[in-house]
Amino acid sequence: MEETNYDVPQQDDGNDDLYEHFRFVADKGQQPLRVDKYLMNKVENATRNKIQKSAKDGNIFVNDVAVKSNHKVRPNDVVTVLFEHPPYEYLLKPEDLPIDIIYEDDDVLVVNKQAGMVVHPGHGNYSGTLINALTFHFENLPNNSSDRPGLVHRIDKDTSGLLVVAKTEIAMTHLSKQFFKKSTEREYLALVWGNIEEDEGTIEGNIGRHPKNRLQNTVFEGEDAEEKGKPAVTHFKVLERLTYVTLVSCRLETGRTHQIRVHMKYIGHTLFNDERYGGERILKGTTFSKYKQFVENCFKVLPRQALHARTLGFKHPVSGEMLRFEAPVPDDMQQCLEKWRNYSKHVIE
């Protein structure tokens, strides 16, 4: 989704009191598709009724022309959604929320994000985010290309771990280039279902939005790979085999949305308790009721996907020094791991 500057009118055709909320460019291979269905596949948390009402109210445009909900989107069409108010995520309200800062200087800070905190405001999450907290504690943070203060990269709401934040324009530019050139070091801990036979390996598969479930991403293969997905590479190494689950270290070569979650499911090892991708079900193990109760207890102590951004390395944008940081495994994930270690020990005995 492309984002624009909201300080100026977004159209020159009489809509100068409207603000652009979404902009999509249809793929060159786009088959004719009703615009309401097209936006259903693109906009997270949108409903068909809301989209159709927006079209009825004259808020949906294709190539700068207002259209009805049954208008067919075709290759290279530019689809925009405009409203009379700026997007809520740009009405940033600083909030006095705690931040776990593990490093700070004049140019950057490194934050250990807690699981459950959304990184930036978006649909359904307009407060309580890391950006709300950052704008309270720090003034004049530089905006990234999406007008989000200080943000160089992000991790999912229910993923814990490390993020670097830029405090100056120079730091933002320098760090963004490092992420683009894949020169940063990022390692995650993931607990996944099943016993991974290989000690280590590399997963390659283009990732894009799932065609049927727009809340998920998926790996595309064959002719669809380049058209519908973006290249993604994840390197993994087994750390512990715990009977029916495996603890792995994942190093990212790229940074696609949900990359580890999608890639691990792709090779048949969905993240433990990853509700969005089906990991909240018992995918491996026995049919004994005691085992079912054990797994449910694990879900209770770790009520989220078992993913933690443990290490982060990057070159300092001013000094050029290579900095590396590590965040300890959070309590909920540690407790879950201990339960599996005890279970595995008794199974072996």
Instruction: Specify whether the CB–CB gap between 148 and 176 falls below 8 A.
Output: no
Helix residue spans in the chain (DSSP H): 35-40, 48-56, 130-137, 169-180, 224-228, 259-266, 289-301, 331-348
d(CA 238, CA 251): 12
184, amino acid identity = T
d(CA 270, CA 303): 15
Strands (E), the chain: 19-25, 33-34, 60-62, 65-66, 72-73, 78-83, 101-104, 108-113, 160-166, 185-193, 200-204, 206-209, 217-220, 233-242, 245-252, 307-315, 322-326
Q: DSSP class of residue 90?
A: G
156 annotated active-site: yes
d(CA 170, CA 320): 13
Can you tell me whether residue 29 is helix, strand or coil? coil
Can you tell me whether residue 15 is helix, strand or coil? coil
Q: What is the CA radius of gyration of the chain?
A: 22
Catalytic residue, chosen from 36, 77, 156, 332, is 156
Can you tell me whether residue 99 is helix, strand or coil? coil
d(CA 83, CA 35): 17
d(CA 10, CA 82): 9
Active site residues: 156
